[in-house]
Amino acid sequence: MTSTTNETINGPDLLDVKDLKISFKTDEGIITAVDGINFSVKRGQTLGIVGESGSGKSVSTWSIMRLLPKNSIIDKSSSIQFHRKDGKKVEITRLKPNGRELREIRGGEVALIFQEPMSSFSPVYTIGNQIIEAVLQHRNVSKDEAKEIAIDMLDKVGISNPRQRFKQFPFELSGGMRQRAMIAVALSMNPSLLIADEPTTSLDVTIQAQILKLMRDLQQDLGMAIIFITHNLGVIAQVADEVEVMYLGKILERGTAKEIIHRSQHPYTQALLKAIPQLDSTGERLTAISGDIPSPLSRPAGCPFHTRCEKVMPGICDVEMPNPTQLSDTHTVYCFLHEEKDV
Amino acid sequence: MIKFLFQRTIGMAVTMFFVSIMVFIIMELPPGDYAERWAFRKFSGTGTEITEADIDNIRAEFGLDKPAPERYLKWIGGIILHGDFGEAFAFQTSVNIVIGQKIWLTLTILFSTLIVTYLISIPVGMYAAIRRNSIEDYTLTVFSYLGFALPNFLLALILLYVSITYFDSTVGGLFSPEYADAPWSIEKALDLLSHLIIPAIVLAWSATAFQLQTVRATMLDEINNLSVTAARARGVPEWKLLIKYPARLAINPVVSTMSFDANRIFSELPIVALVLGLPELGELLLKSYLDLDMFVAGAILLILTFMIVFMNFLSDIALAILDPRVKLIEG
Ligand SMILES: Nc1ncnc2c1ncn2[C@@H]1O[C@H](COP(=O)(O)OP(=O)(O)OP(=O)(O)O)[C@@H](O)[C@H]1O
Ligand SMILES: [Mg+2]
């Protein structure tokens, strides 16, 4: 897929995910969390993933680092291809669990930051200890050198007094500081891909804007690719080159940030856009789309969104999943409203 | 940390002060007074007639005619300044001699029981958590419940029976007859150890079962913690991850309940000691109550409570070292 409308989406692939299907064995039965999705991330670019709670954003991206719990199953036909720094292509799904190559990739080439910066640090070790741990894991340096790298990184993410902070415990920092520290840990190894799983959701709006700016700046400096996960299409507009819209384990629409924000074609995307939280509210969960999200245990047949869709066409939408419709080189929608036009 | 240590030391001293007052009140409780009982002990059966004056003399001799606060100060002063716990009239000698040996044996039993408890419960609890829902895990759970359910004296009797019938050993008491009066040697120490095995198993079982479940539960909680996933996402190897994060935290609840374990062991010890014929303090405590030998009782009570308060102090300090949040909240 080459782009003529937006050259920012050009560039060599870093990550190629094909037919990713992930389910969980639970006491109530098998839950399908991600249902055959495809996406790719290009070097130095930002892929935004939006969708309501439970749409599979975390599950699909954590699988890139094989961080899912033991009761998860990645389907045999799924493929996650990652291009390592040394140029080698690895099939992540075939790697030995917790084996050496996977551990090299974790932290060293793909890093992860979470929504909750408090619980992503262990309370009983200092911030410095947890950064050094990452550095020592991946680089052949002494403890003192690792410490200098860590302090450097804390400085880079805009933490004042980094030498002092280095010795502090996570609970001695404010929420915004902790998220900066989390970013410092993640970037201390200069990864080629950063997965940011709702990194600003728990922060208030001003801090949120600071963190977003920091991430953009660091991306320019370090040239890494980012997968940015959020509920909030308003945030996506500020950070992403390409956006995919997920719902109940499926991708329903994909396009450049412009296309998704200004020319969205899927009723679900349009509903999400209407529900963008006001600027003064802190990125709270979306509630504005009417109807309940179906339980993942009883996924609706056909298009998963048809139970809540304003434009649902009975007898069509509830029978089969629509095929992708290519609206431009970069813009794809999975919806019968558009498939019809093509026929 | 120094401030914290200081606070805790003061706290311990204050606690011990109140404990000593309570112990003193308990010592004063029995009817009659010490002088009458002493005189009765000393002259009963000798045919001597005891007069009020004799008793008054004894009273003056022991300082019993002084008011209670002064007597308290004399008693506690003797203990603190000279380590002198007073007279044991039932034995016609000093309390120190009566309890001296038994205190060491009691402490030996206590600490060997605690060591057995922690050596088993901590690693095994962690293992059970890591292998959650495996056959090993279920087996351990069954053993734990057995530990909760079986009365200690029954367990002691069973083990006694088994070891006498099948291992032909002399398990009663603390020493085999040939070592009982022998001077201390390596052989004697080993003999003592072999006699400690059964009491330690009996006393440790329920404490182990309890702590094992605690460690397992904390560990399970911690394994699913986001900070563990975060460390895994940094590429930390699995075994190192488990030791550095969940295992480290799973020790905290054990450390913080050390004094409960000591308390439990002290209260279970007399029955087990009775069955196994061990000379220990609990039995002596009961006997001294019956004899109204209050200085002995007071000394034992004071020493046992001090042990528990001191263990509490130790666990507070250990916890502050293990978990930096503790200092911040209380320091
Ligand atoms: N450990 C698990 N066991 C069973 N089901 C799980 C597990 N983890 C996730 N799921 C299921 O997978 C689905 C997708 O979850 P996921 O966490 O990826 O959603 P999300 O899009 O990240 O939502 P949120 O915005 O709330 O983070 C959900 O239906 C969830 O119930
Ligand atoms: Mg999520």
Structural domain spans, chain B:
2-95, 99-292+313-323
3-state secondary structure of A301: coil
Ligand 1 proximity of A59 Cβ (cutoff 6 Å): yes
Ligand 1 proximity of A51 Cβ (cutoff 6 Å): yes
* Angle in degrees, 0-180, between the axes of helices B186-223 and B258-276, rounded to the nearest 10: 140
Q: How far apart are CA B274 and CA A6, in angstroms?
A: 88
- Cβ atoms B56, B5 nearer than 8 A: no
Contact list in A for residue B233 (CB cut-off 8 A) is: 65, 67, 106-107, 111-112
Across the interface, whether the CB atoms of A112 and B226 are under 8 A apart is answered no
Residues 6+ apart with CB under 8 A from B264: B206, B207
Between A111, A124, A137, which is nearest B323 by CB? A124
Residues 6+ apart with CB under 8 A from B144: B208, B209, B210, B212, B213
Domains delineated in chain A: 1-109+193-293 (3.40.50.300), 120-190 (no CATH)
Tell me how far the alpha carbon of residue A332 lies from the centroid of ligand 2, in angstroms. Answer: 24
Q: Which ligand has the minimum distance to the alpha carbon of residue A50?
A: 1
Contact list in B for residue A132 (CB cut-off 8 A) is: none
How does pLDDT run across A169-220, given as a tens digit for each residue? 999 998 888 988 999 999 888 899 999 998 887 778 888 888 888 899 999 9
Across the interface, whether the CB atoms of A169 and B325 are under 8 A apart is answered yes
- Cβ atoms A343, A323 nearer than 8 A: no
Which CATH code is given to the segment(s) B99-292+313-323? 1.10.3720.10
Q: How far apart are CA A179 and CA A159, in angstroms?
A: 10
- Angstroms from B256 CA to nearest CA on chain A: 16
Paired with A253 in beta bridges are: A245, A333
Residue B255: which of B144, B148, B122 has the closest Cα? B122
Q: Chain B interface residues facing chain A, Cβ-Cβ under 8 Å?
A: 224-238, 244-245, 248-249, 322-325, 328
pLDDT in tens, chain B (331 residues): 788 888 889 999 999 999 999 999 888 877 666 777 777 777 766 767 777 787 788 777 777 778 888 888 988 998 988 888 887 777 778 888 888 878 888 888 888 899 999 999 999 999 999 888 889 999 988 888 887 788 888 888 888 788 777 766 666 677 777 777 778 888 888 888 888 888 888 888 888 998 999 999 999 999 988 999 999 999 999 999 999 999 988 999 999 898 889 888 888 888 888 888 777 777 788 788 777 778 888 899 899 889 999 999 999 888 888 887 776 555 4
DSSP state of A331: -
Between A138, A171, A182, which is nearest B235 by CB? A138
Predicted interface score ipTM higher than 0.85: yes
3-state secondary structure of A72: strand
Residues 6+ apart with CB under 8 A from A292: A308
Count of Cβ atoms closer than 10 Å to residue B55 Cβ: 17
Contact list in B for residue A182 (CB cut-off 8 A) is: 230
B89: phi then psi, degrees, rounded to nearest 5: -70, -30
Ligand 1 proximity of A55 Cβ (cutoff 6 Å): yes
Q: How far apart are CA A23 and CA A3, in angstroms?
A: 33
3-state secondary structure of B18: helix
| The two structure tokens encoding residue A28 | 């109530």
- Angstroms from B128 CA to nearest CA on chain A: 16
Strands of A27-87, DSSP E: 29-42, 46-50, 72-74, 79-83
Q: Is A33 on the interface with B (CB under 8 A)?
A: no
Which uninterrupted H or E stretch holds B285? helix B281-290
Q: Which ligand has the minimum distance to the alpha carbon of residue A114?
A: 2
